[in-house]
Each structure stands twice: as C-alpha cells, then as structure tokens.
A and B are shown apart, each in its own frame.
Chain A
C-alpha cells in the first residue's frame, strides 16, 4: 500500500474508535492497534525502509534482520507497537484485570506512533565521521 493509503486507513479507523464505549475496551485497544500498524507502515514506506509492496502485519512476525533494522531506526515506535500487541493478548484475547486502563494507555501509544509517523522522512545514511 502507498503511504497515503495507509494514512487514510489509519485515520478512518482512529475516527471509528472514537465511537466505541470504553466499557468495550477490547475494541478501543484493537482500533488503536490497527490504526497504529497502518501508521507504522506509513512511516516505514516514507523512510524508504520498506517497499510499498511489503507491509508489516505483526511486529512479532518480523524476521530478525527486519526487526533489527527497524529497532535501530525507530526503537521507540517498535517498542510502542510491541506493547500494543501485548495488550491484545492480555486484554482482548485474554481477561486480565485492568482493561479500561489498558485502553487508555493504548490510545496514548497510538498517538506516539502517529506522531512519529507524521514526522518520518526518508532515511539518509549518516557519515561515520
């Protein structure tokens, strides 16, 4: 997908998430995660780290090399998306107590990914000097 297509999807999903009552914290988390993944792909395409034909679906499914590369370029964003994934296991597929707080945190994490993605620019290899 192109960066603009990812951005459009991310914004639509985030807007729809606003309609979810937080008592259904599962879908607040899912909306935040799904939108964040589109923002992550937006950033990686804009940075020219991944090709438009190669979208990331789950950060846990990345190859060691891809994960190492993204972790070096955007460590905070990768950690943020990883945290969102743990929320999906524990609060969406699981029933650990604290779903409401997790939903609030998920929206904060989403904002961090979105903000970093909007600022993303093509990666230029810096001189070693």
Chain B
C-alpha cells in the first residue's frame, strides 16, 4: 500500500486500540497494538526507501503477495521483492531475536523464498523502531497464541514500545515529506 494508506489505517486502529480495556480485553488490545504497529512500520519502511509502495498485500507466505487481477474480477498471487511486510514473518534485522524466525524460514526440504532483502540497509531510526516492535512481538506467541499471562508489566512494556514506535515513525514520515517538498 501507499504511505498515506498505511497512515490512514494506523490512525483508525489507534483509535480502536484506545477503546479497548488493557486488562479486560488484553488479547484484542494487544492484537490491535501489533496490527497498528505493522501499519506504522510499513509506512516508515516505505518512507526511507527500504521497501516498495505497491498495490499488493502480503500473504501468510513470506515473499508472496496478492493483488487484484487487471480486470478486477479475481485475485492473483505473485512472488515479489519486499513491499509491505508482514511483521510476524519478516526478519528485518539480522540480529533479531528468535521470534523473527517463527515460523521456520527454511526448514529442511521445504520450499522457501528466503529472507526478503531490503532495498537499502535500515537507517538508525528504523533499527530503533524494529527494537520496539520486537518488544511487542515477543508477547504474541506466548501470551496470545499460548497461555502465558499477559501481565501488567508486559502490557506496560508493549504500551511504551508502541508509543516510542509511533514517535519514531511520525518524525520519519514528516522528515521525508519535508525533504520531498
């Protein structure tokens, strides 16, 4: 998607996130947090030229994107260079923790399109943004897919990481818009 589309989605998701109770709705609050974070990160990655703005969308298969056919009557899938990334699957940072390798990227005998190569190395701001996403991502499998308690400490850590991420992305997008004008 285009940067503006990511930001539009992000703003609506951010409002929905605030409508949920961190304790009573902890699972969906978390899921809204990571969904909004994904939109923000993709806007940031496009803004600095690490990934392409395109009219196709990531599937659950890394490197495989879906888009409307030319006659707009069906959908087709293509293996493409990195456009929008699906954060739970995308290893952005070579030093990322284990979460980034789930599901297995290239288990023996399985077909894999491999790790997406970004168009340019991550700038420092986005490396910092990736670290905030890692804080949030580390909660996904144990506490949402699994039974590990989503403690007030984890919620606070996710909340802080999210705020930090949003700050980084907003500044980055504003800077690139200013540079372009």
Chain A residues near B27 (CB-CB < 8 A): 9, 12-13, 16, 34
A94 to B1, CA, bound (A): 7
Interface with A: B56-64, B91-99, B121-129, B168-176, which one?
B56-64
Question: Helix, strand, loop or mixed for chain A's interface?
Answer: helix
B20–A16 contact, CB under 8 A? Answer: yes
A67 to chain B, nearest CB (A): 13
Q: In the complex, which residue of chain A has the Cβ closest to the Cβ of B27?
A: A13
Given contacts A27-B35, A93-B38, contact A57 B84 (CB under 8 A): no
- The interface size of chain B toward A, counting residues with CB under 8 Å, comes to 34
A1–B146 contact, CB under 8 A? Answer: yes
Partner of B25, one of A19, A30, A86: A19
The residues in A between 26 and 60 inclusive whose CB is less than 8 angstroms from any CB of B are: 26-27, 30-31, 34, 55, 57-58, 60
User: A residues touching B (Cβ–Cβ < 8 Å)?
Assistant: 1, 5, 9, 12-13, 15-17, 19-21, 23-24, 26-27, 30-31, 34, 55, 57-58, 60-61, 85-86, 89-90, 92-96
Extra 19 A-B pairs, beta carbons < 8 Å, given A16-B25, A89-B60: A1-B147, A15-B25, A16-B20, A16-B24, A16-B28, A16-B29, A19-B20, A20-B19, A20-B20, A20-B28, A24-B15, A24-B16, A26-B35, A27-B35, A31-B28, A85-B60, A89-B57, A90-B75, A95-B5
User: B residues touching A (Cβ–Cβ < 8 Å)?
Assistant: 1, 5, 9, 12-13, 15-16, 19-20, 24-25, 27-29, 31-32, 35, 38, 56-61, 66, 68, 75, 84, 86, 103, 144-147
